[in-house]
Structure 1
Amino acid sequence: MVFAAWGNPSGLLMFLVCALVVVFVTNVPSAVAKSGNAAPAAFNGRNDVFTSSFLVRFRRSVDNDLAGEVAARYGFDNIGPLVGGNGNEYHFKHRTLPHARTRRSITHTRLLKSHPLVHTAVQQPGFKRVKRGLRPAIPAIHGLPFESTFGAKPIGLEPSDPYFPLQWYLKNTGQNGGKMRLDLNVQAAWDQGITGKNVTTAIMDDGVDYMHPDLKFNYNAEASYDFSSNDPFPYPRYTDDWFNSHGTRCAGEVAAARDNGICGVGVAYDSKIAGIRMLDQPYMTDLIEANSMGHEPHKIHIYSASWGPTDDGKTVDGPRNATMRAIVQGVNEGRNGLGNIYVWASGDGGEEDDCNCDGYAASMWTISINSAINDGQNAHYDESCSSTLASTFSNGAKDPNTGVATTDLYGKCTTTHSGTSAAAPEAAGVFALALEANPSLTWRDIQHLTVLTSKRNSLFDAKNRFHWTMNGVGLEFNHLFGFGVLDAGAMVTLSKQWRSVPARYHCEAGEIVEPNPIYTGRSMFLEIKTDSCKGTDTEVNYLEHVQAVISANATRRGDLELFLTSPMGTRSMILSRRANDDDHRDGFTKWPFMTTHSWGEYPHGTWKLEARFNSPQPRSGWLIEWSLVLHGTKEAPYRTLSPASPHSKLAIVKKAHEDRKMK
């Protein structure tokens, strides 16, 4: 076995083990750059797309000026150093190559490599990333008078913003058929004087209308950038159908101003938002993603992403090398060592997709957020998976046009924002409140607080597939909703007395490398017995995330289901059937299926993996290898905290931990 510490800068090296992803190049989106350049035609099937961007590695660290001289010599522009590249990796873009082509340019690669300082030059593949959320072709737009009503915000008073009565996710009074008090409980946080001050959330999207009167006073220009056009002005590109309204809508959910007579109010209305424009282009590259996720990590506290691989139920994709490095560096070094918080929309593929096949949402370094509608049901587009940590809200039950009320382009407002796109920024706003309440919270503290303060409330699976279940230490979870709906008041209250959790470690608990056949009609079971690294410096006794890193293939990948059962008996579905996935060739290669359902459990003992086909048709396949990776702490994480109530999650988990130590 190999053991290594996690949660410190050395953990950066471990992403190769713990975040391996399968890379599939898919169609190129038909968006065009902000400059108005036409996009190339989409490339269909598995044809590769190569962009005009190159990752250039120098033989030693060089400054930006020298890199620029090398770039100019061969007809390139130096876009800048790569996040996490230690000064020897740069992003070059060729001035005349097309935005995307079907073949690599060997000529330009050789030119760059001919320079004595250049070690390698890699032309960047292009791939597809899509915005999440239901968007009508022409959004519902409402103009409002902009008379100011700024003033004091007395505790207990509701915001006077004209759209606040429509913001049922902030205060659910049963409007539009909703369930009373099924909301984010933000008033309880605001009543404590916590409104998001001194916290910045970056909206990684298609731009932000930073001139919007409900956003402009909360806009952090210093932390903003446009990685699609390479300038400091991430303003959305105009289209007739307002396709690029996505980021502005997400920004309003976090930080729309209060009591100014405009639109509604943000969850953290005194916080700041930064715009990182990176989606609106003919293709995505690893370099754009990496630089976006590592932009100004000490000025930005939270990164909110409402996008990902295509939600078509047949895509298996995730972050590439440079992007993964940027995220790992962010959680290890961002916010002056406390770690950046990455919030991710879990996906809109519905029951035909599984968000564990999305390497961004399923990453243990991100917080994956699903959505519910205003009567407590899951939305029809919600994906389910074992990596989802918690949920917020999307649209209304009786009227699908009653979505999230928020800011829209050009000073307008909308009531039709929805999807898990709407859910992730709401979570970012709640986390901004927690960070104001306790600026010393680490990225892991935020995840622990999420688990301990999220509520089951009235959430339920509309089709009765997934029930609320208790894990081995008494934490209630649901395969759709994670640990429940975020509760801003409870999170702020607990944040104020919080003490950071102990150091985190990872343990490679065991592996099975011989292939095992899988057939229709019966399950295949494998077991790994582990002491969870007992007696070593990286012993794990209290779980956070669990990864089953699996290689498998099948005559039809979409019919394969996988289940992981912990020694304390918690059964996680780590892969569900995906009806649209006809793959018979690629399968999964060292894919890190992740579950949060065993949070807080004792990992020592036998872990069981079940593989089966869910299909009336004959299927066969092989589970080629399985390695079990445990992430958590050696010491009890909540030993210094005093629960406010003996019935709280904190009290229940503490008692379970104390009982185990006495055995």
Structure 2
Amino acid sequence: MFMMIMLTILIIMIITVEQSLQFNHNNHNHHQNEVFTNSFQIRFRRNIDQQLAHQIAKKHGFINLGPILGSQREYHFQHRALPHARNKRSIGHYRKLRSDHLIESAQQQLGFRRIKRGYKSLVLDEIENLQLQNDPNDPFFQYQWYLKNTGQNGGKPRLDLNVEAAWAQGITGKNVTTAIMDDGVDYMHPDLKDNYNAKASYDFSSNDPYPYPRYTDDWFNSHGTRCAGEVAAKRDNGICGVGVAYDSKVAGIRMLDQPYMTDLIEANSMGHEPDLIDIYSASWGPTDDGKTVDGPRNATMRAIVRGVNEGRRGLGNIYVWASGDGGEDDDCNCDGYAASMWTISINSAINDGQNAHYDESCSSTLASTFSNGAKDPHTGVATTDLYGRCTKTHSGTSAAAPEAAGVFALALEANPSLTWRDVQHLCVLTSKRNSLYDSKKRFFWNMNGVGLEFNHLFGYGVLDAGAMVALSKQWKTVPPRYHCEAGSIVSDNLSIPTNRSLTLNIETNACANTETEVNYIEHVQAVITLNSTRRGDVLLYLISPMGTKSMILSRRPNDDDGHDGFVKWPFMTTHTWGENPRGVWRLEVAHSGPEQQHGFIKEWILMIHGTKEQPYKDLPVEDDNSKLAIVKKAHEDAIDNKKN
């Protein structure tokens, strides 16, 4: 068993290195565009304690900000006399550090942009003393249509998160902590202060334990406070609205409020107090401009992998990600955070079931929640705001991710033994199609090989808190997960035709009769290297042996790149969840756009992640029409057919 765990971790780290190499390649090819910060990643030749690290830092004119991910060999140094951002490396400081006999390596941190998702509003809403009988007495509850949709403001009745069904089971988020990784949390807000977890909070922008937002005239740093209220605003206190998990705790991790992000700030944020924090909620990412291809660097990937393997005392932390606000001109599979297997990517819908105009689509999205209402700007998300105020206009997929975090907090109270993978399985099995639809009729609901409905915009549907809590209570942890490199094609001259698609096939037995055999799929990655005269015109489809077709890259009209392409980029799909991976996988590559383009695909590696043993087999079925019943029957039929 120990050898299996080590093998799995080794494969994970290989993928991590490949991803981090790609992120650096795609975004830092041109040295004139690089930004160097005043932070350095230091690796010592042996383990040292904090006191010695402080002494060495001081000797060379630096300050020691502490270990990286709990390591005793890697530390975060900063030189306050250097500007936070410059366009040249600090060679002199680098040489000074390297001259120390205890220092093995020193790496000056590159700076890069990370953008909050969602649209801020300057409207300051006043609290209105209105109550709904038998509902929470919080005055903004009547505006929280995503919690209870009665058709207000033109919404569709019962199109909501079905939280009342969870609350009715006595589940309100007790003993669960969600960290809001953002621009700070106003922990003195009267609707948040009783549910604030100070021990799990930290400010990585200012390096102190107080992640209070920096106030500005334009309210730019209201983002984290608004997200926090969605998760854990207190119930029945007559202030603002109510959180999805109103008895849960919320922690603040302030990490977005500096001119440039660094790998170490991200890594330390995502690895902060992994046994005190259950869920990390992120409503930000690379620029949603439709031309950026970017994601976590090396230390950040290590933090996420460590979180899912070791966090929550071995059960794994849950990382929730907003899928992106780039609209139909972007594809969230080009965002390495939202498209990661280790995160749960959440898209949004509005109060009548349509996708929001800013929603990105991609095959890695697992499920959806809600953002703003249809046409009325005051039917956004009602939540806490700066200065002790409330707002009704929080929106974007920024608003969707914390709602999902709240639903997961309910599930974790119902069953504290859920692993990070259990939560993903529960998303797939309990999310509902409900009334969700693509207003532009581009993406329809499809059924995969085991009978699960999915949509390229909405994943497996809108989260259903009541159903997730009920299933969590009887859940049996899914079998161990394996990573199978199912096959690859490598070539220097596979030309992508200008007027038709190129189809590549990989036939696989999914590592049968080996230690990494996969019979039931969770995630599939197509790790691809290609170049094109216009990267934004490339279309990629992955077709499973059971016939499920996933668009793993859509056209991005703003992406004019003709140089970098994709290098070992892991395009991910969740659409084949539960399927048998054996057989022929097809990759279709084509150009789409007004002008003819040409290019080459150089490598396709097929990675299949899932279980050898059948999941769900020990779960009782109470509803023969449920997703659980449908998938269980498909799995059992497949076993019977194999025997025959």
TM-score by length of 1: 0.94
Q: Which residue is equivalent to 2:120?
A: 135
Q: Which of 483, 494, 497 is equivalent to 2:460?
A: 483
Matches of 2:512 and 2:36, distance apart in 1: 48
Q: CA–CA distance in 2 between the matches of 1:327 and 1:537?
A: 24
2:53 corresponds to 1:63: no
Change (3 A) 1:499 1:364: same
Q: State whether structure 2 residue 197 is matched by structure 1 residue 220.
A: yes
Structure 2 residue 309 is the aligned partner of structure 1 residue 323: no
**Structure-2 separation of matches of 1:120 and 1:248:** 39
Question: Which residue of structure 1 aligns with residue 38 of structure 2?
Answer: 52
* 1:645 has 2:623 as partner: yes
SS of the residue corresponding to residue 111 of structure 1 reads helix
Matched residue, 1:13: 13
Q: CA deviation at 1:8?
A: 6.1
Q: CA deviation at 1:25?
A: 8.2
Tell me, yes or no, if the aligned pair for 1:306 and 1:424 is still in contact at 8 Å: yes
SS for the counterpart of 1:356 is helix
Change (3 A) 1:11 1:302: farther
Amino acid at match of 2:126: H
Deviation, structure 1 residue 398: 2.7
The alpha carbon displacement at 1:46 in A equals 5.8
Paired residue secondary structure (2:413): helix
Q: Which residue of 2 aligns with 1:440?
A: 417
Aligned to 2:381: 404
CA-to-aligned-CA distance 1:288-310 (integer Å, 9 cap, x gap): 00000000000000000000000
- Show the counterpart of 1:23: 24
Q: Structure 1 residue 135: deviation in Å?
A: 1.5
Within a 5 Å distance, the mapping from 1:228-627 to structure 2 comes to: 228-515=205-492, 516-627=494-605
Alpha-carbon displacement from aligned partner over 1:49-104 (angstroms, at most 9, x marks no partner): 000000000001111111111000011010000016x3100000002000100000
Is the contact made by 1:26 and 1:127 (CA closer than 8 Å) also made in structure 2? no
Q: For residues 478-524 of structure 1, what are the alpha-carbon distances to aligned partners after superposition, in whole Å with 9 as ceiling and x for unaligned?
A: 00000000000000000000000000000000000113101221000
CA distance in 2, matches of 1:526, 1:594: 17
- Per-residue displacement from partner, 1:21-46 (whole Å, max 9, x unpaired)? 4236879xxxxxxxxxxxxxxxx996
Post-superposition Cα deviations, 1:259-310, rounded to whole Å, max 9, x if no partner, equal 0000000000000000000001010000000000000000000000000000
CA contact (8 A) 1:258 1:269 kept: yes
Q: Check conservation: 1:12, 1:329, Cα contact below 8 A.
A: no
Amino acid aligned to 1:255: A
* 8 Å contact kept, 2:43–2:106: yes
Asked if structure 2 preserves the Cα contact closer than 8 Å seen for 1:354 and 1:384, the reply is yes
Q: Distance in 2 between matches of 1:241 and 1:637?
A: 50
- What is the Cα deviation at residue 410 of structure 1? 1.3
Deviation at 1:229, TM superposition (A): 0.2
In structure 2, list runs of 5 or more residues that go unmatched. none
Q: 1:225 is aligned with what amino acid? A: Y
Code of the aligned partner of 1:50: F
Corresponding position of 2:100: 115
CA contact (8 A) 2:195 2:249 kept: yes
How far the C-alpha of 1:381 sits from its partner, in A, is 0.1
Conservation of the 8 A alpha-carbon contact between 1:558 and 1:577: yes
Looking at structure 1, the residues matched to 40 and 202 of structure 2 have their Cα atoms a distance apart, in angstroms, of 20
Contact 1:141 1:408 in 2 (8 A): no
8 Å CA contact 2:27–2:293 kept in 1: the answer is: no
C-alpha distance in structure 2 between counterparts of 1:458 and 1:581, whole Å: 33
Q: Which amino acid aligns with 1:277?
A: R
Q: Cα deviation per residue 1:535-573 (whole Å; 9 max; x = unaligned)?
A: 011110000000000001100000000000000000000
Return the alpha-carbon distance in structure 1 between the equivalents of residues 160 and 194 of structure 2.
27
- What is the correspondence of 1:85-96 to structure 2 with a 5 Å cutoff? 86-96=71-81
Q: Residue in 2 aligned with 1:101? A: 86
Match of 1:632 among 597, 602, 610: 610
Distance change in 2, residues 1:551/1:173 (3 Å): same
Residue type of the alignment partner of 2:16? L
Deviations 1:163-195 (A, max 9, x none): 000000000000000000000000000000000
- Asked if 1:167 corresponds to 2:168, the answer is no
Count of residue pairs brought into register by the alignment: 636
For 1:359, the aligned partner's letter is G
Q: Which amino acid aligns with 2:322?
A: A
Query: Partner amino acid for 2:114?
Result: R
2:246 maps to a residue whose letter is Y
Letter of the 2:160 counterpart: D
Give the Cα–Cα distance (whole angstroms) in 2 for the partners of residues 338 and 143 of structure 1: 41
Counterpart CA distance in 2 for 1:281 and 1:16 is 26
Q: Let me know the Cα RMSD of the aligned residues.
A: 1.9
Q: Is the 8 A contact 1:139 1:242 kept in 2?
A: no
| Residue segments in structure 1 that go unaligned for 5+ positions in a row | 28-43
Give 1:14 deviation, angstroms.
Answer: 3.6
Partners of 1:5 and 1:506 within 8 A in 2: no
Give identity over the alignment, percent. 72
Whichever residue aligns with residue 139 of structure 1, its letter is: V
Name the CA shift for 1:267/1:288 in 2 (closer, same or farther; >3 Å).
Answer: same
Return the TM-score normalized by structure 2. Answer: 0.96
Q: Which has the higher helix share?
A: 2
Q: How many Å apart are 1:618 and its aligned residue? A: 1.1
User: Quick check: 2:23–2:296 contact (8 Å CA) kept in 1?
Assistant: no
Matched residue type, 2:24? V
- Once residues 596 and 19 of structure 1 are traced to their aligned partners in structure 2, the CA distance between those partners, rounded to angstroms, is 18
Shift of 1:158: 1.6
1: CA distance between counterparts of 2:144 and 2:509? Answer: 49
Give the distance between the partners of 2:18 and 2:612, measured in 1 at CA: 19
Matches of 1:45 and 1:414 in 2, distance apart? 43
Q: Which runs of at least 4 in structure 1 moved beyond 4 Å after TM superposition?
A: 3-12, 24-27
Q: Which AA in structure 2 matches 1:99?
A: H
Closer, same or farther: CA 558–402 of 1 in aligned 2, 3 Å: same
Offset, 1:134: 1.3
2:513 alignment partner AA: G
What is the aligned partner in structure 1 of residue 633 from structure 2? Answer: 655
Measured against aligned partners, the alpha-carbon deviations of 1:206-232 in whole angstroms (never above 9, x if no partner) come to 000000000000000000000000000
Give SS of 1:100's match: coil
